[in-house]
Structure 1
Amino acid sequence: MHLEIRRFANMSDVSIWNKALETIQSRVSKQSYDTWFNVAKAISYDEAASTLTLEVPNNFNKEWLEKNYKELLLEALRSVENKDIFINYSISTAKQEPVVIETANVSPREEKKFSTGTIIGLSLDQKYIFENFIVGDSNRFAHGACVAVSEAPAKSYNPVFIYGGVGLGKTHLLHAIGNAIRKGDPSLKIAYLTSEQFLNEMVSAIASGKINDFRNKYRYVDLLMIDDIQFLQGKEGMQEEFFHTFNVLYSANRQIVATSDSKPQELKIEERLKSRFEMGLIADIGAPSLELRVAILKRKAESEKIFLSDEICLYIANMESNDIRKLGGYLTKVIAYSSITKAKISLDLVKECLKDVVPAAQEKKITIEDIKDAVVKYYKLRPSDMVTKKRTQPAAFARQVAMYLTRELTDMSLPEIGQNFGGRDHSTVIHAYETISAKIQTDLILIQELKEIQELTKS
């Protein structure tokens, strides 16, 4: 039997996908929507088989949608047609639109100046690999993006822009990308440097009349990783040079990864350079949770063959909420103090060693009411939905989120948490916590929602 496949030739057909996108857009963050959904195009609809075919840029995008957003997609399509619509994926064969560039005349033969396998700029630290990068809610998206880049340079997402505060792991991820790519293909040319180093080399090249050598050095690499891109701000000549370097690499399908302390929109750089960063994947690294800080301390202690009790880890982790590098410094100080004094590491020793360390800022203590109010506001529910016995969605799911956050962000016991959610028992709280904990292992939408709700608790 011949099955009719309708091509999207009129608005009524297109509206199936467009209306589904409206539902999806209301359920996910802008970053997730732009990264995973806005790039998908509906190319055909088999009405008899109720199957929609979506064209996506690459296999990585397809696998991510299937693994993390399958239920959301089916639910969104079901809400449009009031029936189940299945999804087929097609990988786009179209090449990326080339960027129009202006470059100096450089002979292709000059690319051979660097031997294969060259590391240009700063050396890669072999200690920084993906295997020892501790993943939590605050960095899961950035970590996933970097792993994808290391597995398929310039094929998954290009460029990749990672932003976040000092000491949160951006540099670790750059080294991890470089180390993983070098391990996979030692012949590739990798450039890793800070934007300040880029400026210094550029100025030196201009002064010595060797600007073409400088350009050739960074325009013929397979991977360019540049740290602290915010250093470009206020330096027009440097922005101009980097802009053309970016264009040459991008047009040659070479991978570019940059880090910054701010998102591209907030940087005081030329709009054309901002747009280059914004056309790729942007991932932020937020402040680590208490659980993540404890895990990082434990991993660092293990690497030093030092045992730290949970009590000690919690004490140190609570001294700094944002800068992981500082936490590492505190632990190093404790280990050194123990070694010098020949004393066993105990809580009393830690307190004595770190008695002069004062947290930079005392954050507002988050209460269960702050969490419930934030969840109600975020999911557009009523306060009564937090305590009702009804199990209807989305109130039931929102309560699970609130219970999870309460356990994560407060010192309340399980029975106390249950009592504040309509007199539920501790087993309900445990179930809620385990449910959300399992979901955030793969659900980027939920990870983003949790981050946004936590921000609401502080307002």
Structure 2
Amino acid sequence: MDENLTLVWGKCLQFMRDNLNAAEDNTDLKKLENSFDLLFDNVQPVSLVSNNLTLLVPSDFYKEYIEDNYLSLLSAALKKNIGKGVKLWYSVMENKPAGQEKPITVNVKGKSISTPKVQETLPPAFSQNLINPFVVPGMKKVNIDSNLKADFSFDNYVEGESNKFASTVAKSIAKRPGATAFNPLFLYGGYGVGKTHLGHAIGLEVKNAFPDKVVLYLSSEKFIQQFVSAAKAHKQTEFANFYQMVDVLIIDDIQFLSGKKSTQDSFFHIFDYLHQNGKQIILTSDKAPVDILDIQDRIVSRFKWGLSAEIKSPDFDTRRKIIVDKLSRDGIVLTEDMLDFLASEVKTNVRELIGVINSVIAYSTIYKSDLSLELLKETINKIAANQKKVINIPYIQDVVCEYFGIQREQLLSKTRKREIALPRQLAMYFAKEFTNATFTKIGEEMGGKDHSTVMYACDTIKDVSKIDKELKKYVKELTEKIKQ
């Protein structure tokens, strides 16, 4: 790539990033900041000739996403760093079998021009005739139970701000498994936010569109158990052969490979074989790739080859959509105030929300009572009394806010006043103590703070509470309240 072109494009990216970072009060722009690196890491400048800049993008999805969300900002960056009258073109490189690549180039107005063919080249020492030691000659595909749940389809997946990006990418993959830039797709997020549902939805859609493809879903625990059994029986080769027949491999909770060195070795070779042969890999985890401990660097690097997409806890509007969708399928209609109450009461995850909805339906059916706001409140109170308290970040925030007599909005704000900053640090400290959330996740839940800010807060509370009697008292009393 031309050195000047690389420099110019780098300045354009920095201009866009700076403007997104500065948009503290613009919610829409702040949302775009989260997906900026994920998107533009896969975009490369190809040429800059006579004020015509051509960008190489992996697929039409990238082109459309840039035009829908970043075009104004990108145009401003090009105008500043290249000059007025610059024209933007896209070279779309779809993944197709060797010799069939047909990249197209279009400008933002849709006018097309011809461009040189774009190809990936193999290293000179690479032989096209390498023999894979795992493949048994003459082995044919066998019928494999996909282990997919029919209810976990895209039709039953409620989209909202917390999962829209991941859902859009998932649908793109389902149309062309193994033939997009999103391979592997690494879905991560907290408990019960819909990662598993989305993995199943991709598998179901693939099976529907491509009946001959072998799709397999399983948990990482099952994968580990199978490997251990194969190793004991000295059948590791047969184990690898089985997985290399799969066209779409979906593994849930991949973080549990942590510390399993032999299993990681086997997974690494299976991953490489599937990826090199255009097979789709979908992984879910409660942590981002870089936050998974005790796992080989070469595996983490492969997690980053495709796309990592976070699914967050559903916001109020998404929770409300989930309630309406679930109840409508059961023929139940609630009033607006009842819907608002339910959506406000359960703030953690989709699984807990559906559990509450099912309990309300069951209570109404058993006692033959018409659903009312009073009945909802009574039912939820009974559920809360009979269930073990779930300690999560929103709950910790509520306890800390009540203890210090401040509002949640203040806790999540950017103010550095001591009367707010100290409770915020305590909330971060307890979030790390009582939940499995990463520093990054805690920072996001605390108003979009950086992970380093959370680390500093945790270290500060831990160290200062040893010598400061007042802070020690806060930690002791809040610990008791959180555990109540």
Same fold per superposition (TM over 0.5): yes
1:24-67: CA deviation from partner (whole Å, max 9, x where unpaired): 233277763333223222222232xx321112223332232223
CA distance change for structure 1 residues 355 and 188 in 2, over 3 Å: closer, same or farther? same
Task: Answer whether contact 2:186 2:308 (CA < 8 A) is retained.
Answer: yes
How far did residue 235 of structure 1 move? Answer: 1.3
Once superposed, what is the RMSD of the aligned Cα atoms?
3.0
Partner of residue 343, structure 2: 317
Task: Answer whether contact 1:334 1:353 (CA < 8 A) is retained.
Answer: yes
How far did residue 352 of structure 1 move? Answer: 2.0
Note if 1:33 corresponds to 2:36: yes
Read off the aligned partner of 1:127 and give its amino acid letter: D
Partner of residue 73, structure 2: 72
**1:355-394 matched pairs, under 5 angstroms:** 355-358=381-384, 360-361=390-391, 362=395, 363-364=397-398, 373-374=413-414
Task: Answer whether contact 2:134 2:241 (CA < 8 A) is retained.
Answer: no
Task: Answer whether contact 1:103 1:244 (CA < 8 A) is retained.
Answer: no
Task: Answer whether contact 1:77 1:84 (CA < 8 A) is retained.
Answer: no
CA distance change for structure 1 residues 247 and 348 in 2, over 3 Å: closer, same or farther? same
What is the identity percentage for the equivalent residue pairs of Structure 1 and Structure 2? 34
1:233-286: CA deviation from partner (whole Å, max 9, x where unpaired): 121111111111111101111100000000010101111111110121000011
Task: Answer whether contact 1:124 1:178 (CA < 8 A) is retained.
Answer: yes
Note if 1:145 corresponds to 2:169: yes
Task: Answer whether contact 2:411 2:446 (CA < 8 A) is retained.
Answer: no
Equivalent of 1:45, from 40, 43, 48?
48
Task: Answer whether contact 1:74 1:86 (CA < 8 A) is retained.
Answer: no
1:281-319: CA deviation from partner (whole Å, max 9, x where unpaired): 000011111111111111111111111222222222233
Task: Answer whether contact 2:327 2:333 (CA < 8 A) is retained.
Answer: yes
Distance 2:2 2:305 in 1: 28
Partner of residue 24, structure 1: 16
**1:205-354 matched pairs, under 5 angstroms:** 205-268=230-293, 269-354=295-380
Gaps of 5+ in 1: 1-7, 378-450
Distance 1:263 1:63 in 2: 26
Read off the aligned partner of 1:81 and give its amino acid letter: I
CA distance change for structure 1 residues 97 and 134 in 2, over 3 Å: closer, same or farther? farther
Task: Answer whether contact 2:253 2:283 (CA < 8 A) is retained.
Answer: yes
Distance 1:281 1:206 in 2: 32
Read off the aligned partner of 1:124 and give its amino acid letter: L
- For these two proteins, the number of residue pairs brought into alignment is 371
Distance 2:33 2:274 in 1: 28
How far did residue 96 of structure 1 move? Answer: 8.2
Q: Per the alignment, in what secondary structure is the counterpart of residue 131 of structure 1? A: coil
Distance 2:359 2:121 in 1: 50
Q: Per the alignment, in what secondary structure is the counterpart of residue 332 of structure 1? A: helix
> Looking at both structures, which has the greater relative contact order when contacts are Cα pairs under 8 Å and sequence separation is at least 6?
1
How far did residue 9 of structure 1 move? Answer: 4.1
Read off the aligned partner of 2:136 and give its amino acid letter: S
Note if 1:455 corresponds to 2:455: no
1:130-172: CA deviation from partner (whole Å, max 9, x where unpaired): 1221111111111111111111212221111000111100111
Q: Per the alignment, in what secondary structure is the counterpart of residue 7 of structure 2? A: helix
CA distance change for structure 1 residues 42 and 334 in 2, over 3 Å: closer, same or farther? same
1:399-428: CA deviation from partner (whole Å, max 9, x where unpaired): xxxxxxxxxxxxxxxxxxxxxxxxxxxxxx
Partner of residue 57, structure 1: 58
TM-score if structure 1 supplies the norm length? 0.74
CA distance change for structure 1 residues 368 and 34 in 2, over 3 Å: closer, same or farther? closer
Gaps of 5+ in 2: 22-31, 94-117, 402-406, 417-443, 455-484
